[in-house]
Amino acid sequence: MDAADTVLTIPDFCLVLLVGASGAGKSTFAARHFRPTEIVSSDTCRALVSDDEADQSASAAAFELVHMITGKRLAARRLTVIDATNLKVRDRKPLLALARRFHAPVVTFAFLLDAATCVARNRERGARGGRDVGVEVVTMQQTELRKGMPGLRRIGNFTAFETGAAVDRITEIRRVPS
Ligand code: CTP
Ligand code: MG
């Protein structure tokens, strides 16, 4: 194995919380390391209820779906990845309650990439026809993220990625029997 490679270990049954601003690379990371059916994405749920993954007015309905699917999966002891910004305590609270209810360990990956990178990636995504939430939203999200860090570090099995390079060093997420 290359010295730069990093293998992470997680329980084979757990709730994985991805936390980070828009453009930080949460969905890219999820797609690289988890099966499509393991990923519960707030954007996908927005699209399911409104045909538009960017429609913020669909958020309440979308998160009802996120929570429902997560509950069903955890009840069936299926590893579940929450692909949403998960920045606020009130965003995380219902998910942590589900994990407790179904005795699922919580694994948190926090994407602490700098705002300029997140903004640039949004812009590039926008140029390719995808979403670009813009600099104001990313700045607000970064503030929220920094504010929440002390609380976040206390949640379960916690890993922080400070840079895109740190994310890219993860070559494998190995699952061990829980
Ligand atoms: N990206 C990149 N290099 C990476 C990771 C992501 O260039 N190592 C690009 C992706 O291709 C995408 C953009 O950056 O166009 C944002 O990545 P994404 O995974 O979509 O970020 P999310 O954190 O999921 O953003 P959002 O909260 O808006 O869904
Ligand atoms: Mg995403």
Mutate to test the pocket of ligand 1, among 16, 28, 122, 142 (most ligand atoms within 8 A of CB): 28
Positive or negative torsion for Cα 70, 72, 75, 79: negative
Pairwise CA distance, residues 23 & 81, whole Å: 17
Residues of the chain with pLDDT under 70: 1-4
Q: What distance in angstroms lies between residue 133's CA and the mean position of ligand 2's atoms?
A: 11
pTM score, two decimals?
0.97
Pairwise CA distance, residues 145 & 148, whole Å: 5
Do 150 and 39 touch, CB atoms closer than 8 A? no
- How high is the pLDDT of residue 5? 81
- How high is the pLDDT of residue 4? 67
In a domain, 28, yes or no: yes
- How high is the pLDDT of residue 156? 80
Q: Whose CA is nearest to atom 9 of ligand 1?
A: 121
Q: What distance in angstroms lies between residue 33's CA and the mean position of ligand 1's atoms?
A: 14
Write the CATH number for 82. 3.40.50.300
The domain containing residue 55 runs over which residues?
6-176
In a domain, 65, yes or no: yes
- How high is the pLDDT of residue 112? 98
In a domain, 1, yes or no: no
Residues 61-108 pLDDT 10s: 999 999 999 999 999 999 999 999 999 999 999 999 999 999 999 999
Q: Whose CA is nearest to atom 6 of ligand 1?
A: 25
- How high is the pLDDT of residue 3? 53
Total structural domains within the chain:
1
